[in-house]
Structure 1
Amino acid sequence: MKRTHLPLNALRVYDAAARHLSFTRAADELAVTPAAVGQQIRALEDHLGTVLFRRTSKGLELTEEGRAGLEPLREGFLKFEESVQNMQAGQASDRYTIAAPREFYAQWLAPRLAAFRAESPGTRFQLVENENADFTEANLDVAIRLIDGPGDLEGVELAPARRVVVVAAQHGQEPPDEWIAWPGAPLPEGAEATVQVGNAGQALSSAVAGLGRAVLPYLLVEEALEQGKLVAIEGPDEGRRAYWMVAPLPQWRQKKVRALVTFLADS
């Protein structure tokens, strides 16, 4: 069924004028001029084909038609407010759906989410492994991606783009010539890959296992370097890609997302 066009601005003005029985006081509430209130009321009366107010010696009065429409209108505004509150419920929610690479979650994100929840007890997280998942289909709040920049999304760089060449600790003094290659991390000129993997996480595991050298984001291997599992034989140097937390603008504006972004960016 085709819905009738509703002049919502004029109806809001009508509601205010009916409560105050004064165009002047309605104008003060709505931060407009009394003339603008009068224009909206006249336009609404023309739209409805009926008179809503009459002027008497005692002031402004509602007509019978005006009184008849007022209660259902106010019930409708309450429904509008309830609808908006329901749509904004995610802003006050303590639930997050986050897409992040598995290896980044294990090495960097998980302990920081634990710290965030320690400060905000009751927070719940749902993790999606595919960081490139569609925000709408996966109902994501945010995603963490290893990218050049946020593109069309809103985003914050979690750490500067730095890369490092690492090798297993047992090979630190005499690093092997073998290289571990993965998409997005070109090997040095003249180097040949002896191990080809699909992502940074597999490259990290391969390097820790002693399968060769790997060029990896410094943020990803920082903990392994501190624990002595890996040693850096080059770098860290400035890189091209960094881990970004990104989201479309509507999600980015949510209070809960802003709180998480601020916490992680400061970690």
Structure 2
Amino acid sequence: MKRTHLPLNGLRVLDAAARHLSFTRAADELAVTPAAVGQQIRALEDTLGTVLFRRTTRGLELTPEAEAGLGPLRDGFLQFEEAVRAMQAGQSSKSLTIAAPRDVTEKWLMPRLAAIAAADTDLRFVLLSADESVDFAQANLDLAVRWGDGPGAEEGEAIEADGMVTVSGLGGADTPIAWPGEPDAAAPVRVADAGLAVDAAAAGLGRATVPELIARADLASGRVVAVGDAQPSGQGYWLVAPLPQWRQKKVRALVEALAR
């Protein structure tokens, strides 16, 4: 018999009926009718090609064939239960693996994770650097931060931010600082990401236009100042994960803590 064709429903009914030696009490346990129990047993007998129960003057009795299979069957159900517990264990785990661009991790994510961890000292974080889409299964990821106009193929929630902002250091130069999100071949300073652009502006090398989320902490500390008002953007940072990870309690709790 192929494993994929195991009559699991019928075997579950057999286990209940064998424990009670009563189709009626088995039906009560399984929340079905006695007739449905009888139908499942008959179908299982047809599938196995053997009789499982006999009716006698003393009531329902197991056949020797049914008796022979009950021990391994119940061991199998215990294995199923252990498998389910093992698969659910990840949801109660306090360890989360998160992928984000380097500058998002440094400027926004790590300070927020520190505050979250201070409130729950059992939490453990694994942080990976990822500027582009990552394979959640291969990297064993729980959550990722991505830049875009939506979550793409995954489930997601937008991180609130005020679009793009231009920043400069106190008394800094009035020349542009380029980075991949704001390319400028003529800029005298070019850096690898928005976080480094903020750092370059803070060092007095010029002005950088970056996502407000990246500049937020440096603006709040006075390390850089805003040049004009923040401008709306059709893109932003998103917390994303495939549906199975997104539904996990630990991931939902982290998303709620990060997004507020």
Residue 142 of structure 1 is matched in structure 2 by 143
2:181 aligned to which of 181, 184, 188: 184
Q: Which residue pairs with 1:114 in the alignment?
A: 114
Aligned to 2:194: 200
CA distance in 2, matches of 1:57, 1:161: 81
Instruction: Give the structure 2 partner of residue 67 of structure 1.
Output: 67
Query: Retained in 2: the 8 A contact 1:195–1:211?
Result: yes
Residues 179-224 of structure 1 deviation map (CA, whole Å, 9 limit, x = unaligned): 222233477xxx9533333322222222222222222111111111
Mean Cα deviation higher: 193-202 or 145-154: 193-202
- Compared with structure 1, are the counterparts of its residues 237 and 33 closer, same or farther at alpha carbon in structure 2 (3 Å cutoff)? farther
Looking at structure 2, the residues matched to 169 and 73 of structure 1 have their Cα atoms a distance apart, in angstroms, of 75
**Paired residue for 2:6?**
6
Amino acid in structure 1 at the alignment position of 2:45 = E
Identity %: 60
CA contact (8 A) 1:161 1:242 kept: no
Give the C-alpha shift of residue 161 in structure 1: 5.5
Aligned residues: CA RMSD: 2.2
Letter in 2 for 1:70: L
The secondary structure found in structure 1 opposite 2:157 is: strand
Separation in structure 1 between the aligned mates of residue 180 and residue 93 of structure 2, nearest angstrom: 37
Asked if 1:17 is matched to 2:17, the reply is yes
- d(CA) in 2 for partners of 1:4 and 1:117? 44
Q: What is the DSSP-based 3-state SS (H/G/I as helix, E as strand, rest coil) of the residue aligned with 2:25? A: helix
Rounded to whole Å, the distance in 1 between the matches of 2:4 and 2:19 is 25
Question: In the alignment, what sits opposite 1:155?
Answer: 156
User: 1:170 is paired with a residue of what secondary structure?
Assistant: coil
Match status 1:169 vs 2:166: no
Amino acid at match of 1:181: A
Task: Give the secondary structure class of the aligned counterpart of 1:236.
Answer: coil
CA distance in 2, matches of 1:201, 1:17: 66
Secondary structure in 2 matching 1:136: helix
Aligned length: 259
CA contact (8 A) 1:99 1:127 kept: yes
Aligned counterparts of 2:4 and 2:225: Cα–Cα separation in 1: 69
The answer for unaligned runs of 5 or more in structure 2 is none
| Alignment match, 1:90 | 90
Letter in 1 for 2:78: L
Q: 1:236 to 1:79 in 2, by over 3 A?
A: same
Gaps of 5+ in 1: none
Q: 2-side partners of 1:20 and 1:180: how far apart?
A: 78
**Aligned residue number for residue 213 of structure 2:** 219
* Shift of residue 111, structure 1, vs aligned partner: 2.0
Superposition deviation, residue 3 in structure 1 = 4.5
Secondary structure of the equivalent of 1:260?
helix
Residues 49, 106 of structure 1: alpha-carbon distance in 2 compared, 3 angstrom cutoff = same
Q: What is the TM-score with the length of structure 1 in the denominator?
A: 0.88
Question: Structure 1 residues 183 and 30 mapped into 2: Cα distance closer, same or farther (>3 Å)?
Answer: farther
Which amino acid counterpart does residue 225 of structure 2 have in structure 1?
A: V
CA spacing shift, 1:49–1:164, aligned 2, 3 Å: same
Preserved contact between residue 17 and residue 23 of structure 2 (Cα < 8 Å): yes
The SS at the match of 1:54 is strand
Identify the residue that residue 52 of structure 1 maps to in structure 2. 52
